[in-house]
Each structure stands twice: as C-alpha cells, then as structure tokens.
Amino acid sequence: MKLRKITTIVDEVLMEGGKGVDPVARTAVVAAIIENPWKDQGFVDDLGPGIDDIAPQLGELLAPRVMEALGTPLEAYGKAAIVGLNGEIEHGSGLIHTLKFGNYFRDAADASTLLPAVEKRGPAGIVFDIPLKHFTDATIRSHHQSFEVRIPDAPHADEILVALAGASQGRPQQRLADLSTEQ
C-alpha cells in the first residue's frame, strides 16, 4: 500500500440550537490517502487480489486511529471511499465493502451492524458527507447523522481516499420519536 497522508478530524459540539450539549458530542474521522492499487491497469475484471492485499491494511491502519481520536465509547459509525478521477468508483467500493476492511472497525468498536457508506469519484478537495448509524442497531433513529469532510489536495487522479468515522452519541439535541412509535 502506497500511503501519501493520513488526515484526522475531531469535532466537539458544545452547543446546538442555542443550548448546551452535555456530554459534549464528539465525532472523529480518520482518512488515508493511498495510491489506487489498480492504477494504469485498464479495466481489471477481478478486483479480488487487490482487495485481499489492501483492504486489511487499511482496516488495520484506520480502525485503532479512529477509536483513539474519538477518545470515548463509540455509539455510531460510518465509512467512505472517494476515488480520484482516473479510477472507478468500483475500486473504492472494493476496498471498503468487504469484511476484510470493516471487521477491523467492528471489532475495535464492539459493533455488529453494517457500516453505512459514501462512495464517489471526484477531484482533489471534493466535499463528501459520511453517513453514520448506530453501532449495534441501525434502526435507532436518534443516531442517524452525517459528517461533512473535505480534505484539500486529495484524492489526486490516481489516488483513493478511504475514511472511517465514529461518533460518541446520536445527534446533539436529538428529539425525534422512535421508529417503533410509527409502526
């Protein structure tokens, strides 16, 4: 894996809607910017070998870092793959939509649900929003949230940006009726 840089973002929300948030709502994102492993290879039919090689390395790199950056028990999580302009979205999807990537995060967070994801292709500095859902029950409405990220200068055309996101709680000031009340 050819790694160019790792960007970590930690967000702390102390107030929302004019009222204090207690405890402070924390969200952490860690993104790795790597060279696209299928760079200059044309259309590759079988992405399996590249996935088997790279996805576990990314999971092993990012999962402990996002837990450390969050610094509190995790309650919601998500992931992202942003492919540079010379690649296919399928390349990014290949790296994140595999248990060989996601299980590192699930194990580190004691989580059980599927990780919601954003996948897109774009120029360096593109804005993307990572969806997050509850870490053991994806139907828990209070934890549906998303986190805006823009990493200047990434991904370059031959790169892929892969990120994990974790949150300490649901939305600050969440107060919507639970899904069960509408059934």
Partner 1 sequence: MAKIAKTLDEISVRTIRTVVEEVHSEGGSAASSPRKIAASYAVLKNPWLHEGTAASLTDFAAYAAPILAQEITSRLLEHLGDANDVEAFGKAAVVGLNGEIEHGGAFIHTPFFGNIFREILGGTSIICFSESRAEPSDSLRVPLWHKTEAATRDYYQSLEIQLPDAPHADEIVVMGLASDGPRPHPRIGDRATDPTVTLDIFQGE
CB of 11 to partner 1, least distance (A): 5
Compute the C-alpha angle 58/50/35, nearest 5°: 60
The alpha carbon dihedral of 30, 34, 37, 38 has a sign of: positive
Regarding 9 and contact with partner 1 (CB under 8 A), the answer is yes
Whole-Å CA distances, 67 to 28, 85, 113, 136, 156: 8, 30, 17, 16, 27
Regarding 179 and contact with partner 1 (CB under 8 A), the answer is no
For residue 166, give both structure tokens: 């974790």
CB of 125 to partner 1, least distance (A): 8
Regarding 15 and contact with partner 1 (CB under 8 A), the answer is yes
**CA–CA separation, 47 vs 36, rounded Å?**
12
Regarding 20 and contact with partner 1 (CB under 8 A), the answer is yes
CB of 64 to partner 1, least distance (A): 14
Residue selected from 52, 107, 137, 153 as contacting partner 1 according to rule CB under 8 A: 153
Regarding 60 and contact with partner 1 (CB under 8 A), the answer is no
Name the site residues for partner 1 (rule: CB under 8 A). Answer: 2-16, 20, 127, 148-153
